[in-house]
Amino acid sequence: MQSLVKLKLQVMKTIKLLTTLTAVAIVAIATAVEKPKMDVIPLTADRAIVSITNENPALFEMSIETLDGSLVFYKLTTDASTQYQQVFDFANLEKGKYMLNLKVNDTKVIREFEVTSKNIHVGESKLRFDPYFSFKNDMLKFSYLNFDLENYSLYIYNNEGLIFQKKIGKDFTLQNGFNLSKLESGNYKVVLSSRNNEFAINIVK
């Protein structure tokens, strides 16, 4: 056990922050992602049309959650399309606020709505992107547009558990790089995480 702890400490010391990173990954986020549009049109006090359009054919993943994260509805379309429409009946929902989430590949559209006894109030649309990760020649790089200014940390795991962690911060543009050349060959999991979000990729060295 003591030797394992020493190994982990050694690995953590050998992973060094890259001092030079370009904005290529940020550009990739802004230009290579989907840009879906989701409209929510109330019909009555209990019903609304959800209309989705996207420039490229894609699968649409939709969910409705309470503000504390409890899942109320989930649907994943089976055929790629540029548009989708569905009428939702909220009569059986408790009165209160909910989040309507749309996921198209690495892009997410979020709209908050409130069901009251008289009508449905729909909030503004929020566009969010998953981080961009790159692992090549032992260099792990990532970029993330942190719209909500959450405080993020990065973790690296192997099959024995956590071997590295670093606070990334809460700037709007998060980008960082790590030299993993001192790590042994094997499978690793990289996690970028905040209080409300978690993004993970698996890498093979």
Q: What CATH number has the domain spanning 34-129?
A: 2.60.40.1930
Tell me, yes or no, if the pTM score tops 0.75: no
- Do 114 and 128 contact (CB within 8 A), yes or no? no
Q: In this structure, which CATH number among 1.10.150.120, 1.10.10.10, 2.60.40.3080, 1.10.150.20 belongs to the domain 2-29+131-204?
A: 2.60.40.3080
Predicted pLDDT at 106: 87
Predicted pLDDT at 32: 53
Is-same-fold flag (2-29+131-204; 34-129)?
yes
Pairing status of strand 173-179 against strand 198-204: unpaired
Predicted pLDDT at 110: 94
Radius of gyration of the chain, Cα coordinates, nearest whole angstrom: 21
**pLDDT by residue, tens only, the chain of 205 residues:** 444 344 344 444 434 433 333 344 444 444 456 689 999 999 998 999 999 999 899 999 999 999 888 999 999 999 999 999 999 999 888 999 999 999 999 899 999 999 998 899 999 999 899 998 999 999 999 999 999 999 999 999 999 999 999 999 999 999 888 999 989 999 999 999 998 899 999 999 8
Q: How far, CA to CA in Å, does 30 sit from each of 24, 34, 52?
A: 10, 9, 20
Predicted pLDDT at 147: 92
Among residues 112, 108, 110, 109, the alpha carbon closest in space to that of 96 is found at: 112
Predicted pLDDT at 122: 93
Q: Where are the domains of the chain?
A: 2-29+131-204, 34-129
Predicted pLDDT at 33: 63
Predicted pLDDT at 14: 38
CB atoms within 10 A of CB 144: 25
Predicted pLDDT at 149: 95
Predicted pLDDT at 19: 31
